[in-house]
Amino acid sequence: MSREINEGNRIEAPKDQFESSQNDESSCSRSSLAGGTVLKKGHWSPSEDAILVDYVKKHGEGNWNAIEKRTELRRCGKSCRLRWANHLKPGLKKGALSREEVEKIDQLHCKLGSKWAKIAAMLPGRTDNEIKNYWHTRAKRYQRTCLPHYPQHVLRQALDENQQTLNYSMSNREDKGLGIVLQSAMHDSAKFFKANPGPQAYSLPFSDISFTGLQSQDLVSHTYSFNPGVNHAIQLRETESYFPGNHGSMASGHAMFEQLPHGPNPVNKNVPSFGYSEPGSLIQPNVNFSTSSPPTGTMKLELPSLQY
């Protein structure tokens, strides 16, 4: 990418970044004050990279705080470690993530949640920062375009695994912790939805715990987030890229809506209906949205991941 090419030309970090380093309480700043020198912040120059690479070649990784003392590099240890790990370390892959990598990230995030370091460990040559950035960018885009955070097959797979785990934990007296946690999670979520009716964010009040194993058949169709009044042309485009099996026909967009409990709102066909009524459902029925006054929170109904 052009950023990689251009980065070498950025020698100096913005002035305010130098100044701010004298004021904040970060560990980097503390070390800079202790040494009486101001440590540089901001983007790295090629010469700084060269110093760091040279240092690691001679002394190996670790002891990052010693770099400032042993070389002319005026960077804090943390900054050095990050620069090395994310950019200078041999074997790092650059460029766009492959289809296989994206798929793996989806699966791992579905399982592990935001454990970027763990996910990165499963993807040789990729860094946690890279994966995290990718995920956040994509999540933002999908949130805007009403797409699910996980592809269908990843959800299915996760649900199957969760179901197996749950069945195992429920039946195994030795390992009843997960079952208790899930039961508790379900109870909490039920309380949450009862206490918070209306068009609020439909994220569960607990994180990284799935209660979906108990209703796996229903979940996939419930696991979408919608924003009223979004640009549906964009949405369709995104849908196409997300479900590459559907080749750009209207059916691709329609396929998404077919999975809704109810079809598009008959009153306003551009706005999907969020009214959702099902006996025993945790979600409040007949929730109406106005395009002129969008809900304050993001309407997010995301599959929590299982971290056990």
Q: Which residue has the tokens 């699910």?
A: 148
Q: Which residue has the tokens 């008959």?
A: 266
Q: Which member of 56, 77, 239, 274 binds DNA (CB under 7 A)?
A: 77
Q: Which amino acid is at 279?
A: P
**Measured between alpha carbons, how far is 99 from 170 in angstroms, rounded to an integer?**
36
Q: Does 235 help bind DNA (rule: CB under 7 A)?
A: no
**Measured between alpha carbons, how far is 156 from 284 in angstroms, rounded to an integer?**
25
Minimum gap (Å) between residue 26 Cβ and DNA: 4
Q: Which residue has the tokens 């440590």?
A: 39
Q: Does 98 help bind DNA (rule: CB under 7 A)?
A: no
Q: Does 81 help bind DNA (rule: CB under 7 A)?
A: yes
Q: Which of residues 11-70 bind DNA (CB under 7 A)?
A: 13-14, 16-17, 20-21, 24-29, 31, 40-44, 62-65
Nearest to 215 by CA among 184, 182, 192: 182
Closer to DNA by CB, 116 or 211: give it: 116
Q: Which of residues 102-121 bind DNA (CB under 7 A)?
A: 114-118
**Measured between alpha carbons, how far is 182 from 216 in angstroms, rounded to an integer?**
14
Closer to DNA by CB, 126 or 169: give it: 126
Q: Does 203 help bind DNA (rule: CB under 7 A)?
A: no
Q: Does 232 help bind DNA (rule: CB under 7 A)?
A: no
Minimum gap (Å) between residue 74 Cβ and DNA: 11
CA atoms within 13 A on the CB side of 287: 22
Contact 43, 7 (CB under 8 A): yes
Contact 71, 51 (CB under 8 A): yes
What H or E segment, with its residue span, contains residue 53?
helix 46-59
Q: Which member of 35, 70, 124, 140 binds DNA (CB under 7 A)?
A: 140
Closer to DNA by CB, 83 or 149: give it: 83
Binding site residues, DNA, CB under 7 A: 1-4, 6-7, 10, 13-14, 16-17, 20-21, 24-29, 31, 40-44, 62-65, 77-79, 81-83, 85-87, 96, 114-118, 128-130, 132-134, 136-138, 140-141, 144
